[in-house]
Chain A
Amino acid sequence: MIYLELFLSFLKIGAFTFGGGYAMISIIRETVLAHGWMTESELLNFIAVAESTPGPIAVNMATFVGASQGGFVGSLLATIGVVLPSFIIILIVAALISNLLKYKGVNAFLGGIRPCIVAMILATAVTLGLSTLFSFHSIGDALLPDGKGIIIFLILLAIHFGYRLISKKRVSPILMILLSAVLGIFLYA
């Protein structure tokens, strides 16, 4: 039953993603790949859409995957699923234990999770980079570098660090997405 599967999968994503934003990508990626709801490149396409539209990436992802697999009802259930755990947890915290972070045990637990999330984001980036830029998924695959993709990646990095030197700020992600779209058309067409 696709509706129940969507609801439960996104309930799990909502309940176990700490840190927001890209911290959620590795769990979302595992879930959509394991169910065959998206391919890796579809996932990347959609992350770009989620980054360019308002709203949290996990909610956007739930709505999109839900809609593609189960129409309106599917997107509604997936979205409710992803929101429900935070809603319930925050309600309990706000009502009963608003001094949650004063407990040393809670802080110790969160302190352990923080470096884990940093590592998860970086590992996901490496895995995605290997599969997208080198067509390498798992052992046994040959490394097939996509020269054009690598050029785009290097250009983006150069701009990123160049801009940091001048202004100490990050270039807006949306600007970088637009630039890479232009580069994609120039190089691949």
Chain B
Amino acid sequence: MKKDKWKTYGQLFLTMLKIGAFTFGGGYAMIALLENEFIAKKEWIKKEEFLNMVAIAESTPGPIAINSATYIGYKIGGVFGSVIATLGMVLPSFTIIFIISLFFDRFLSLTYVGYAFKGIQVCVIYLIVTAGIKLLKEMEKSVWNVIIALSVFLAMILCSVFAVQFSSIFYILISGVVGLLVYGIVRLKKKGDEDS
């Protein structure tokens, strides 16, 4: 029995290590891999539980990969399982990036690499623009969503143009509170309509 437990921890760690080492392209690509490993292959987690996990991982702060690993680890092996799973998920990128950091400056100082990265910097802007446009298309275009998005967009651009420091954290918190207020108002109004 005890031996089985350690075997499960070992499998959990190795599976997360594998997923951590092969997920390019961020959170959503990884969710497909997790689903394949933990539902289809190992049947460690039920489909319903998994979908709940994805929704929670998306809705709580932090990278989706880390959130999913911690959640699945906990469900399979308790607190120790969540430590093992999170460690497995982080270790590959930590190792790879640490090694890259040792050489990156020297690599960039090569003349042609420098030119290549001038092009790549433009590409990163393209990637961010298209990621933003994609999310904008998917966003529900309700009045309040549009108001929040437009206000935050303009406020950020203006702060940046006029070199005013205003942390993004405040935008997030304020928008969340606006979301709560809107919900409260809508509910009160509904109640008022029902009463009258």
Q: Which residues of A contact B (CB under 8 A)?
A: 12, 14-22, 24-27, 30, 34, 41, 44-60, 63-64, 67-68, 72, 75, 79, 82-83, 85-87, 89-91, 93-95, 98, 100-101, 104-106, 108-129, 132-133, 137-139, 148-149, 152-153, 156-157, 160, 170, 172-174, 176-177, 179-185, 187-189
Contacts and interface: CB of A to CB of B under 8 A. Distances in A.
Contacts of B67: 86, 89-90
Most buried by B among A18, A44, A55: A55
A151 B81 CA distance: 50
A101 B132 CA distance: 25
Contact of B156 (A18, A111, A123, A129): A123
B66 A91 contact: no
B24 to A, nearest CB: 6
| Chain B interface residue number, banded | 35 or more
B22 A54 contact: yes
A87 B112 contact: no
A66 B65 CA distance: 20
Contact of A87 (B86, B98, B117, B125): B86
B124 A47 contact: yes
9 contacts: A14-B61, A20-B63, A26-B156, A49-B97, A54-B23, A89-B61, A110-B179, A118-B136, A123-B160
Interface in B126-148: 126-133, 135-136, 139, 144-146, 148
A128 B93 contact: no
